[in-house]
Amino acid sequence: MDFQLSEEQQILVAEAREFALQEIAPYAARWDEDEHIPRGQIQKYADAGYFGMTVPSRYGGRGLSALDAVLVIEEVARHCGISGRLIVDHNFGAAITILHFGTEEQRRRILPTICTGETLMSIGMTEPEAGSALTDLTTSAREEGGEFVINGRKHWITGAGEREYTLLYARFNGAPGPKGIGAILIHKDMPGFRYAGRIPSLGVRGVQEGILEFEEMRVPKENLVVPPGSAFGRLMSAYNGQRVGASAVALGIAQGAFDHAKDYADERRQFGKRITDFQSIQFKLADMAIDLDAARYLIYRAACNADRAITDRYESSVAKVFASEMAVRVTSEAIQLCGAQGYSRNLPLERMFRDARCFTLAGGTAEMQRIGIAGSILGRALPQHS
Ligand X SMILES: Cc1cc2nc3c(=O)[nH]c(=O)nc-3n(C[C@H](O)[C@H](O)[C@H](O)COP(=O)(O)OP(=O)(O)OC[C@H]3O[C@@H](n4cnc5c(N)ncnc54)[C@H](O)[C@@H]3O)c2cc1C
Positions in the binding site for ligand X (CB under 6 A): 122-126, 131-132, 156-158, 201, 204, 209, 358, 361-365, 367-368, 384
Alpha carbons 66 and 244: distance in angstroms, whole number: 9
CB of 110 to ligand X, least distance (A): 17
CB of 162 to ligand X, least distance (A): 12
CB of 21 to ligand X, least distance (A): 26
Q: Please, which residue, 1 or 378, has the CB nearer to ligand X? A: 378
Q: Please, which residue, 125 or 238, has the CB nearer to ligand X? A: 125
Please count the other Cβ atoms lying within 10 Å of the Cβ belonging to residue 87.
27
Q: Please, which residue, 71 or 73, has the CB nearer to ligand X? A: 73
Which residues is 214 bridged to in the sheet? 152, 193
CB of 338 to ligand X, least distance (A): 25
Please count the other Cβ atoms lying within 10 Å of the Cβ belonging to residue 331.
30
Alpha carbons 183 and 260: distance in angstroms, whole number: 42
Alpha carbons 35 and 30: distance in angstroms, whole number: 8
Which residues is 357 bridged to in the sheet? none
User: Do residues 95 and 69 touch, judged by C-beta distance below 8 A?
Assistant: no
Q: Please, which residue, 183 or 338, has the CB nearer to ligand X? A: 183
CB of 183 to ligand X, least distance (A): 11
Q: Cα dihedral sign for 298, 303, 304, 306?
A: positive
Q: Please, which residue, 15 or 136, has the CB nearer to ligand X? A: 136
CB of 368 to ligand X, least distance (A): 5
CB of 273 to ligand X, least distance (A): 41
Q: In the bound complex, which residue of the shown chain has the CB atom lying closest to ligand X? A: 131
CB of 121 to ligand X, least distance (A): 10
CB of 41 to ligand X, least distance (A): 19
Q: Please, which residue, 14 or 382, has the CB nearer to ligand X? A: 382
Q: Please, which residue, 158 or 255, has the CB nearer to ligand X? A: 158
Alpha carbons 247 and 323: distance in angstroms, whole number: 6
CB of 360 to ligand X, least distance (A): 8
Q: Please, which residue, 123 or 334, has the CB nearer to ligand X? A: 123
Q: Please, which residue, 16 or 244, has the CB nearer to ligand X? A: 244
Q: Please, which residue, 298 or 362, has the CB nearer to ligand X? A: 362
